Amino acid sequence: MTIALLSNVTVTSLAMRLNVISREEVYCPAAYNTWLQEISDPGSKLYKSEPAVVFILLHGRELFGETGCESREQAESVLSPLAETIAASSSRRKTAFVVSTLDIQVKKICPLASRRIEPYAAAFWRRIMEDHDIPLLDLSEIAADIGRKKFYNNRVWYMGAIPFSKMGEEALAAEMGRIWRAIRGERKKCLALDLDGALWGGAIGELGIDGIHLDSTGSGSRFRDFQKRILDLKNSGVLLAIISKNNIEDAMGGIRNHTAMLLKENDFAAIRSNWTSKADNLLSIASELNIGVDSFVFIDDSPVERESMRIALPDVSVPDFPSDSAQLEDFMIETAKEHFLQLRSTEEDLFRAEHYGAEAERREYRSAFGSVEEYLASLDMVLTVENIGSHSVSRAAQLSQKTNQFNLTTKRYTEPEMNAASEDPARRAYIGSLRDRFGNYGKIALCVAAVSGETASIEVFLMSCRVMGRDVESAFLSSVEQDLMETGVREINAEYVPTPKNSAVRDFWGNMGYERRGKSGSATLYRAKLAGVRERGAVEVVRKAEECQGF
């Protein structure tokens, strides 16, 4: 059982819709309004099944019953203990809890000047959830977007305590499906954008910089508002790229010189403005950024270009562009929810664009050296290795979900699962951060090892493809081996599980001196006897011993 849906109203049909969208089994208690008992009882079916995510969807009016929400004190007395119970339950390390906001419909007839407690109760509930760092399913926003009269259905409410209309249930299931994909780390990495008709109105090659439709006020502000939401994505770690059929001088003139242009040249990790096919340009960008084609979302106002991209590169996500440019901002918000939703931002997300800028400097710097060895030695690389703690769990889970090329086993962890692994006394969980003379790569390497007596078994060993071939992998493995030796481990078992994307590391364990032992299914098995410290090449390794306490 992967997903659980709990509620204080009937949500059986909603669970069925979520099952179809997520293609996962959804647990929904048969008994009515037993959500609190389910999360309070350690022996409940909910916890026995250990779902990856629990959605708690609460109907605001039902929380307060017939008495309604009469005062702030009453609202707090009802909501506070419920919130504390949810917060305590959410501390279970293998399960992610996602809780709805409250949309409290006002049915009571009262004067215009009366004191309304419902908005206070809804805000109070949200604040408690945020204080406990619990992810939210924004039911109130969905209801507002659709309109309450369409979101709710009185007829099915009186028939079977089902508050939501068919449209309401479809919207909720779609949002829960998005959240589920975010928990699993199914987030795209790069937004590739057209220029003419997208970031501004009109063709700059024909109209010139003063003729394009882009302004901070009036009708031209629709394109500026569109850019604001794109900038939000960039600031959350999404890479931006330009793919435009334009002369490069015209394109860069608009980006650099138009006074209403919010997105600047350094906001883009790659720019292609030429007359080559857009699919070929996207392939070129994918190669430059070293990310998969399936990591891209392509935005273009031309139906011909969109269809050409879908045919040439079916793994690229190509949403339909709005026919009315006044809808651009809403279109970008929906695109972000569908393709770029994430549970939490990490430090690496916030500085990803800067990482790629530094990489361009490294490539230019590399040309001054006659050998790879001289180049690597000049980078002054420092790898910091520490045991995973609360400060690094989100990034560790993200690495396990996103890394494909240098990933020996491709075992994925959700954030709660990584929490559990990091706190398991029978496991050692390591994360490595790299910096060099050009900047900080952030946390780029992950290893989880199960330890039994003098033997350790590597469950996960992976590294960001951005630092492949720089001796970092050997240095990271050396640090892991040394720490395991210090805990009494004398032998390590490891394996390579082939995938369509990780063939580049097929011989990693053999190259590291591990003995091949045979196969188990598709996995190739390896073993090594630990005897001393491995050569670390051009990389200096720092162990943060203070982070190892508690293991």
Does position 546 have pLDDT exceeding 60, yes or no? no
Q: In which element (H, E) is residue 130 found?
A: helix 118-131
Residue with tokens 């057209």: 194
Instruction: Please report, as a single letter, which amino acid is at residue 2.
Output: T
In the sheet that 53-57 helps form, which strands lie side by side, from edge to edge? 26-27, 3-7, 53-57, 96-100, 136-137
Q: Rounded to a whole number, what is the distance in angstroms from the first to the last CA of the chain?
A: 30
Where residue 513 falls (left for φ over 0; alpha for ψ -120 to 50; beta otherwise) is left
Does position 7 have pLDDT exceeding 80, yes or no? yes
What count of residues does the chain have? Answer: 551
The domains found in the chain, sorted by start residue, are 3-183 (3.40.50.1110), 190-339 (3.40.50.1000), 362-548 (3.40.630.30)
Rounded distance between C-alpha atoms, residue 122 and residue 136, angstroms: 13
Does position 68 have pLDDT exceeding 70, yes or no? no
pLDDT per position as a tens digit, 154-197: 999 999 999 999 999 999 999 999 999 998 888 999 999 999 99
500: tokens are: 């369509």
Rounded distance between C-alpha atoms, residue 187 and residue 181, angstroms: 8
Quick one: what percent of the chain has pLDDT higher than 90? 63
DSSP alpha helix (H) spans, 367-471: 372-378, 393-402, 415-423
**492 contacts: CB under 8 Å, gap ≥ 6:** 449, 455, 456, 457, 458, 481, 484, 514, 527, 528, 530
277: tokens are: 């096919």
Rounded distance between C-alpha atoms, residue 480 and residue 182, angstroms: 30
Confidence of residue 352 (pLDDT cuts 50, 70, 90): confident
Average pLDDT in the chain: 90
pLDDT per position as a tens digit, 224-263: 999 999 999 999 989 999 999 999 999 999 999 999 999 9
Arithmetic mean of pLDDT, 290-303: 94
